[in-house]
Amino acid sequence: MLEAVPGSKRGIFFVVAVFAIFMQAGLWSARKTAHEVFPDNSLIPKTPSLMGLIKGNARPTLKVHPIPKLMAEAETKFRNLLARQSKTLPQAVAEYKRRFGRDPPKGFDDWWKFIQDNGVLMVDEYNAIAEDLEPFWNLEPSEFKMRASLAGHLPSVEVVKVRNGEATAVNIKEGFDSKEGISARAQGFALMIDKFVDRLPDLDFPINAMAEGRVLVPWEHRKYPNLTEGVVAEQLSGQFPPDWRGEGNVWEAFRRTCEPGAPARRLFTSTRASSTGQQARLSQLTAQSDEFSFARGLQGNYSFCLNPWAHYNQGHFFSDWRTISALFPVFSPAKAPGYLDIRVPSHYYHGQTRRYTYGWDAINLELRPVDHMETPWEQKSDKIFWRGASTGGGSSPPGFAGQYQRHRLVRMGSDHSDTNRTILFADPPGSSTYVYQEVPIAKLNEEVMDVAFVKLVDTFNFPGGLRALVRDHRFDEHGVNLGDHWKHKYLVDIDGMGYSGRFFSFLESDSAVVKASVYREFFGEWIQPWLHYIPLSASYQEIYNIHAFFSGATKSTLKAANSTTLKQDVHLRKPVDGDRRLRRIARAGKQWKRTLGRRVDMEAYVYRLCLEYARLWSDDRDSMNFTL
């Protein structure tokens, strides 16, 4: 058949055939449901015809709500975690060897004494350190030491030098050690190691001065390290610009870290949403996310390699700051999946400041056990509260700010359209019968949400500019202090340009934290979602049903359902058990912060990290092992 077609037409048919194949392989994957975009959720059991029933005359019911089960499982899991921690040094050594297949690092006995003297509860859960340092075991000691020593020449990377038992934060970019213009992150790291620095050998710690992760090594370079030599030389040549300047972007650097067969490496799946139409479809998918899904934890293991379309919803993929494409040891406070930074506690968590520390008395410069602005639980608002600046990402490439995580939250909470949300609530309150009801989103937002921007940032990067930003998002002209948050039972904590530095202060308050994040931090193994905080999916859509479970149906929900409960007193409509459960989460978060999230717990983590790092630094790594 093909031979019968003239040459010019054969060419056209060939192009059409190739295009059709690409459409099937790449563009077809755009037909994803919102749940597939954010798959890390636990679904409430429901029938396939549920949405049809809601729109019909029948009102479906549910007898067992999933949240109590999630809370019970979380408490059991955390109790078991604490119970199985090693009680003696020999047990800790044996557990270390079982997990990592090697002896602990030299100085492990001194570290053990440090954690015992300071009542550190987590003594075995340091898998994050092993994971972060594992790639560097493939480097020879001399190569590792060279890269660690030279990493300070990279943009926005400073060095904490340990010499003769003392630590100093310096900038080495001008060829000499300068103490001028050192970031708070480098200074904070030097403070974290102060209690044990005299027990460390001479070392160089490259510290990321930015909140965003930095190290994105292409998959081929990780698989074949010899390919990296030229990249290392290029990035140390002094011609490595500090920002993208229109030449590439974080997403293009990130997708090269994926395996060659991953969707993110395919041309069409990684670029297809660049058009306005595709962005609109992505927004529509997000808006239709499953409202009856409840996240099981932070989405630190979410694969953007397998779900490239989801990257438009995360601002760190649009950061202006250039990433590092060779394997350098760079210490950062958090990292998203795919990054090879080495995690350390945030200086916001370890330090004591008015903006980030619960109970900090900025006048007397002292830490109080109860913040002077703390509000009794019974007097706290039942609304879901968030305030922040209209940031959340960069501008490389520009024009994507509308999909950043903060903008999506505020826009969702500012929605006064005619659309409905389906709410699951107990009717009557306190019963085990849960019903579904469609409720106008405008009414729900008035009753449930109190989210707003308090500062305008990068308005030029928002599609439509300042006018569109102000039109679609609520703004609170009155700025808020950290203490103003304690007036609310629900505190939303979401990513900004990087991780959120307010998480620890929120936990320590007597409020329940509702957290959504794609970032992985040092404490991930130590904390338990649904016990210490309420996890929130990246779409945020289930937040209304979280509120409905703990605080009960709102007036508009009962009105839409024509419920007889609407005629009862407001105090009778409020589920006592739900409020008690919410306060239990708030108190568990506070207890966690005061027993596992203390400054000394962070220091214990960094101490152990330093011992592992010193072994990698040594010319004779075997001599840096610890044996009983």
Over residues 289-311, mean pLDDT: 79
Over residues 86-105, mean pLDDT: 98
Q: Are 212 and 316 in contact (CB under 8 A)?
A: yes
pLDDT at residue number 427: 83
Name which of 611, 609, 613 is nearest 145 in CA terms: 613
* pLDDT score of 167 more than 70: yes
Name which of 516, 552, 553 is nearest 537 in CA terms: 516
- Find where tokens 């040549």 sit: 237
* Phi, psi for residue 345 in degrees, rounded to 5: -60, 145
DSSP code at position 124: S
* pLDDT score of 429 more than 50: yes
pLDDT band at 475 (very low <50, low <70, confident <90, very high): very high
Most confident segment among 58-72, 130-144, 416-430, 450-464: 130-144
Q: Are 2 and 14 in contact (CB under 8 A)?
A: no
* pLDDT score of 257 more than 80: yes
- Find where tokens 């979602």 sit: 529
* pLDDT score of 276 more than 70: no
pLDDT, mean over the chain: 85
Name which of 118, 81, 79 is nearest 599 in CA terms: 118
Cα 136 to Cα 126: distance, rounded to the nearest angstrom: 17
Task: Name the more confident of 418 and 95.
Answer: 95
Cα 6 to Cα 518: distance, rounded to the nearest angstrom: 54
- Token duo for residue 258: 């994926």
pLDDT tens, position by position, 504-559: 999 999 999 999 999 999 999 999 999 999 999 989 999 999 999 999 999 999 88
Helix ranges restricted to H, 414-500: 441-448, 465-472
Q: Are 401 and 464 in contact (CB under 8 A)?
A: no
* Torsion sign across C-alpha atoms 403, 404, 405, 407: negative
Predicted TM-score of the model (pTM):
0.87
Cα 207 to Cα 65: distance, rounded to the nearest angstrom: 46
* Torsion sign across C-alpha atoms 186, 192, 196, 199: negative
pLDDT band at 121 (very low <50, low <70, confident <90, very high): very high
pLDDT at residue number 290: 57
107's torsion region: left (phi>0), alpha (psi -120 to 50) or beta?
left
Q: Provide the 3-class DSSP secondary structure of residue 6.
A: coil
Neighbour-count burial of 38, counting CB atoms closer than 10 A to its CB (0-12 exposed, 13-18 middle, 19+ buried): buried
Q: What percent of the residues of the chain are helix, what percent strand, and what percent coil, each to the nearest 5?
A: 45, 15, 40
* Torsion sign across C-alpha atoms 545, 547, 552, 557: negative
pLDDT tens, position by position, 7-42: 444 444 443 343 343 333 332 333 233 333 233 333
What Rg value do the Cα atoms of the chain yield, rounded?
26
Over residues 406-430, mean pLDDT: 91
- Token duo for residue 611: 């011992």
pLDDT band at 339 (very low <50, low <70, confident <90, very high): very high
